[in-house]
Copies of this chain bind each other. A is one copy, B any other.
Amino acid sequence: MSDPLKLVEAVRARLGPKAVLTDPADIEPWATDWRGRWHGKSVAILQPSSTEEVAAIVALASENGVPLVPQGGNSSMVGGATPPADGSALILSLRRMNRIRSIDRGAMRAVADAGVILQSLHEAALEHGLRFPLTLGAKGSATVGGLISTNAGGTQVLRFGPMRALADGIEAVLPDGTVHDGLTGLKKDNRGYSLDQLLVGAEGTLGIVTAARLKLVPAIHLRAVAWLGLSSPQKALDTLRALEADTDRIEGFEILPQESLDAALRHIPGTRAPLDSRHEWHALVEATTHGADAEPPAELLTRLLAPLVERGVVENATISATEAQAEAFWRIRDSLSEAERAAFGPATQHDISVAVEDMPLFMAEAAAEVERAFPGTSASGFGHLGDGNIHFHVRAGTRGGPDWLEQEGNAVQWLVDDLVIAAGGSISAEHGIGVMKRDELARLQPDRVRHLRAIKAALDPKGLMNPGKLV
């Protein structure tokens, strides 16, 4: 095994002492993922301040045969940024590279270093009357580099797409130490395979993302959030399709069952039921406008929802009268994971997707199948119906106590994953593969993994980029 300390010395000699952290107290918080599920070891954190410094580090790592684990906010859900436990690799932190290089109002693009935190990007765009439309729970810590490398999703994918659709170009240091410069802002470029697109969702296994050019949209002028009572996920989807047939201003569409709403009302302080009626299912719908000339979103939603209520597709509906009420609706949605944990105890959580049109049937059939195979459990899902992406939970129910996850978690995981693959879906909709799902992907899709490995070996023949992740 090559010696990571030799790389530490080489980097210190080349880039000076500021580029290297070796105090165990500085390293420890970053050697374990944020939820404390994966524990790694690293004798140092390398923290370059520029693309040139990243290139120097990658070249030195290649010379010394020492693997690098790139890290942004360390908010991976799948152990994607945790170093190997044997201490063979060094953490490469991009957090010092936190400059927004430019915001071009005319072209509606921002160029941001990999270490820029999502929230900072939101604020910077807003100062120019613009918006970076991707947002998610970890926005206070997640970085541009991590969002690119995991093809992050979130709640506004419905209208604006995931990071893959918002990345207009990427700068990265490839494993051979050369810099790929995709920041040139070309709208049309047909010089063969897109290295930009290859780096999106690569989880740091093909090189170190150092910056990205990102699409912006006009800032929100007005928004409105509707809360709907519905009899089923299918009715929710029918509603979404009916809305989309008349407007392109719907940018959020989330569903949850009554029991999840009840859990939030019971366990999350300050939440109130949006409707005074009970329904099997609920949906939250957000519409926005970015100009004063367009129909205000509350009027738009009122106009479009009225005939759906009349026809019985929607059982009941209310529309936020104020921004505070809109926030309160979203607060219920955003607290569902926490509320479910408090209300239902141990549960397996599955970040899965199938084709949007197939999701209502899949949810019903998968829940029935799981409950049959593991009597006493109860299965349900909530989340981004409009993206075909549900966070599917299997709760221990009467079947097990606090150690149920250890006893049966894997068996439940395999069954759910088998059902997802049989439905043509993905076992990772938005969290990535990382360490957590690597073996599962190889079990389920050996052909696919073989092709990914061939690409990985071609660009990173020494296997030094984020070892042990994805492939």
Contacts and interface: CB of A to CB of B under 8 A. Distances in A.
A201 B457 CA distance: 22
Interface residues of A: mostly helix, strand, loop or mixed? Answer: loop
Contacts of A410: none
A269 B455 CA distance: 53
Given A150-B190, A353-B188, A441-B191, A178 B447 contact: yes
Given A185-B357, A197-B197, A457-B458, A190 B452 contact: no
A162 B426 CA distance: 26
A383 B195 CA distance: 27
B428 A357 contact: no
A256 B149 CA distance: 41
A398 interface: no
Nearest to A355: B185
Contact of A193 (B106, B157, B198, B241): B198
Contacts of A454: 458-459
Contact of A455 (B157, B200, B291, B458): B458
A356 interface: yes
A91 interface: no
A194 B470 CA distance: 13
Contact of A164 (B194, B198, B356, B429): B194
A117 to B, nearest CB: 21
A357 B185 CA distance: 9
A448 interface: yes
A12 B55 CA distance: 53
Copies in the complex: 2
Contacts of A295: 293
Contacts of A445: 191
A313 interface: no
Nearest to A199: B193
A291 B357 contact: no
A198 B194 CA distance: 6
A190 B430 contact: yes
Interface string A412-454: 0000000000001111111111000000010001011001101
A246 interface: yes
Given A178-B447, A356-B187, A241 B106 contact: yes
Contacts of A389: 187-188
Most buried by B among A187, A357, A427, A432: A187
Contacts of A356: 107, 185, 187
A388 B189 CA distance: 10
A108 B241 CA distance: 10
A369 interface: no
9 contacts: A184-B355, A185-B358, A186-B388, A187-B389, A188-B430, A191-B441, A192-B448, A193-B201, A194-B197
Given A106-B357, A188-B429, 8 more contacts: A107-B357, A184-B425, A186-B425, A189-B429, A191-B426, A194-B200, A194-B201, A451-B459
Q: Which 10 A/B pairs are nearest by Cβ-Cβ distance? A: A458-B458, A185-B355, A197-B197, A454-B458, A184-B424, A189-B426, A188-B429, A106-B241, A187-B387, A188-B389
